[in-house]
Amino acid sequence: MTVSIPTFSHWSAAKAAKPRTNANPLKTPAGGLSPIIGGLAGSLVATYFTFLPCFMFIFLGGPYIEKFRHNRRLSAVLSSITAAVVGVVLNLAVWFGLQVLHPPAGGFNGFALALGLAAFAALQWLKVGMLTVIGLSGMAGLIWHHVIL
């Protein structure tokens, strides 16, 4: 089926002239789910299928690892896998730290450095709980971004 230019222009003019009746983002538009509900559903599905295999390996393979603890070859393989995972996590921590301290736009983020050092001191020496430090750091970042900047 071919669409002629007059038909297309007639369709687009009629579509543009029609007022939008669905202004509420929680109501379903003509395409299916609303953007908020669709985004929430998509994020939940992506999170579920991202972490499900990890937990399946842990819960299903955990009891067998204890049986093979005295096997020297398997123990060496598991140690090397652990070292590789630690290396990947360290690499990501350094990369994200550099991106935060030296943003691509240029300059140096001194607030992030001060907040990171304060969070480290609170966790290491003051023995403040992790959730408390995360919450306080988030509030400090919001205040810094919305009030001070």
CA dist., res. 100 & res. 64, Å (int): 41
pLDDT at 16 over 70: no
What is each CA distance from 72 to 57, 63, 69, 79, 84, in whole angstroms?
21, 17, 8, 10, 18
Render 47-63 in DSSP notation, one character per residue.
HHHHHHHHHHHHHHHHH
**Tell me, what's the pLDDT at 55?**
87
- Cα atoms in the 13 Å half-sphere on the side-chain side of 4: 3
Q: What is the pLDDT of residues 112-148, one digit of tens each?
A: 999 999 999 999 999 999 999 999 999 999 999 998 8
pLDDT at 27 over 80: no
- Who wins on pLDDT, 133 or 29? 133
Percent of the chain predicted with pLDDT > 90:
49
**pTM attached to this predicted model:** 0.55
Confidence label for 58 from pLDDT (cuts 50, 70 and 90)? confident
What b-and-e string marks burial along 97-118, b requiring 16 or more CB atoms within 10 Å of the CB? eeeeeeeeeeeeeeebeebeee
What is each CA distance from 119 to 78, 82, 97, in whole angstroms?
33, 27, 14
pLDDT at 99 over 90: yes
- Token pair of 67, please? 């049986």
